[in-house]
Chain A
Amino acid sequence: MADYVKMWKELGMDLEAHDNLCQVLPTAVGDVFLTQENRPKAMDFWDLVISEVHGIRPAELIEEQKKGRKVFGTFCVFVPDEIIIALNGIVTGLCGGSQFWVPGGEAVLPKNTCPLIKASVGARLGKTCPFFRIADVYVGETTCDGKKKAYEILGEDVPMIIMDVPQMKRPKDIKKWKDEIADFAAKVEDITGNKLTVEKLKEAIDIINNKRKAMKRVYDARKSLNLPISGRDTLLMTQISFFDDPVRCAEMCNKLADELEERIKNGVSVVKEDTKRILVTGTPLAVPNWKLHNIIETSGAAVVCEEMCTGTRYFENLVDNSGNTLDELFMALSERYMKNNCACFTPNPGRIEDIIRLAKEYKADGVIDCSLKFCGLYDIEKKHVSEALKKEGIPVLSLETDYEDSDSGQLRTRIEAFVEMMKG
């Protein structure tokens, strides 16, 4: 780790505070991941990346910046990576998933803001996350009210592009998102100094589609009743994929998928046969938020799928690459991205359909719908989610939590009771 101190210093980070953060992370990684038995060998890659999460990838990004490439930090899966990649930019996720950053966020935001927003703002203002320092530009989006307003605060400290995400899914909204993507492309052209071409964009679409396909292969392996990988490990893979180079990401995911498919063939499972299979849905789980998965998987159940942005919503649906003009490709991008069923849309029946479909595909015994505290969108939508699941005869447990550890005992009781209930 020592090698990185110089880099962190040059990034203007608060080294003392950062040291405290570095001290808690290894314990968490040890407790959550390394205690698991019989993990896929290919997880070594993600173990290494997470153990030096503030070192390895940031150093790569800085190297690329030296060559003149620009780094774009994003907060939402609505931002089309393809545009940035096509213009030789680099994308990195910027979501705060640790309680460590929350107090820093609370210094400028109301307490009743969701922890994801508070942590993201805290990570920037507290100067304790290299990714937040490295990004040349942040790309925000108009999804929930909390984020919209928080971007105004972040915007005082760092250049921001805001994309206007529609709130409904009518044809005119899809058209509007296409126009928004075109405007975004023009801005990224300005920042990178490169010119967008049909060829470049098609190439980028392929790169990201390949990453999606690779991630899907890993997820598909979880559909097997012979569960070849834990939910925690898959979540880590997904979380890191927001930060990684998309080509390497696809390569690593494919390698993991090869191993998982082999495991299924050989009957190698990470859990006992009667372990209850859980589909998790709700607000995103930004790195290093592993709390829910950890409690579920130490309560006699296993997470087999995540219907969330750190899950299926990140890779489902490919972009149609057959267009021959930028305009056609922008439309294809819009059509793909607008299939995302975030709770910021109204009405949002697609999400309910997805949850039921995925519960069946992944042979889930039950669904846990968990939202972050103060996220009104997902909290309100719980009503429809649970009604629809009950109608389907699928057990559902609705939960609310934040990044603090203080409610772990209460969550555990509910989750254990839910598992006992499914066992009958």
Chain B
Amino acid sequence: MTSIRQQTPVSDGKASKDSSTEKPSNYKRLSDDDLFRHSSQYRFWSFTPEQLEQKRIQVNAQAVQSIEEDLRNFVADNKTDLNEEEIKTIEMKAVPVTAEEELKLINLYAKKVQMIAQRLNLPTEIVATSITFFRRFYLENSVHKFEPKAIVLTTIFLACKSDNYFIGIDSFCEKTRGSKEQILKYEFPLLESLKFSLFNHHPYRPLHGFFLDIQAVLHGKVDLSYMGHIYDRCKKRITEALLTDAVYFYSPPQITLSALMIEDEALTTRYLELKFHGNNPDSSADEQKTISQDISISLEKLMTLIRDCKKIIEQSTNTSVEEAKSIAARLYFCQNPEDLLKKLKKRKHDEQDSPRAEKKTRVE
């Protein structure tokens, strides 16, 4: 798989076509790609798949280490009170979750972020920012340290402020039935985990650019109402892509092109072929030159890149509720082993009363 660290991403369609007359000698023109490479999104939040996996393993390992230490201390501190069965129960049930399991839980809650943000009727971009912030927070923190449920609302609250869509805390709490203290309490940790990098390049802006460009390049050959339809579908597809790891490996325009490819492969392929090889009668020779300079990779390479990206976007990030519950239960018992013992006592008590009664595990 290729990552943006190794590949030049294609610029979005409306690649700077500003009049390229004489420039003052010290005036340097930067392409859109150069700009993206200077962005904090690229500097802090772009990884190769190996780097990303390493990161997740590390965050998890650190948390697990401290949880295991806490559990050992708990057992040691209560040595005299604990019987063998109880110690065994702790060893069996209070098992820290793995990096993989963390990811499953995060994926589930990332969808919750999306759902709540959409229910608040927030603009698409802010829904996107909320999802992005939430997922980045858990690249830096383990679910063992910060319960996802607690971070969800803070994420949306900060995303609104960061994207200039201010909602007062009281009104926000009213709409989300959240706790004011809790939401505000996590604002600093969130900001810090985000490395104070709040500016997002979402793939919606390139989508707009590509749509204008597709209509210019394929002038008269595309149906406008059909294009509108595709536009809306691409937007939805992009929001879904933000729930996947594609955002860490590919640049926003690459994700946009992948979304386009998913929605209409023939159209997208034709557009790109014309863009790379075709003589577009509408653009001057000068513009043609600019475009081929901006797109400094071959069509073939780009197509491979898009196909790889598309694969990741289409991979499901669904986590079943059952699975999430069992992961959450373990998180809880790791943090509260005494509750595990209480439960054990209660079960034994119940069994004595009515041996057959099967009690459902209560999950927080």
A, B assembled together: no
Report which B residues bind A (CB closer than 8 A): none
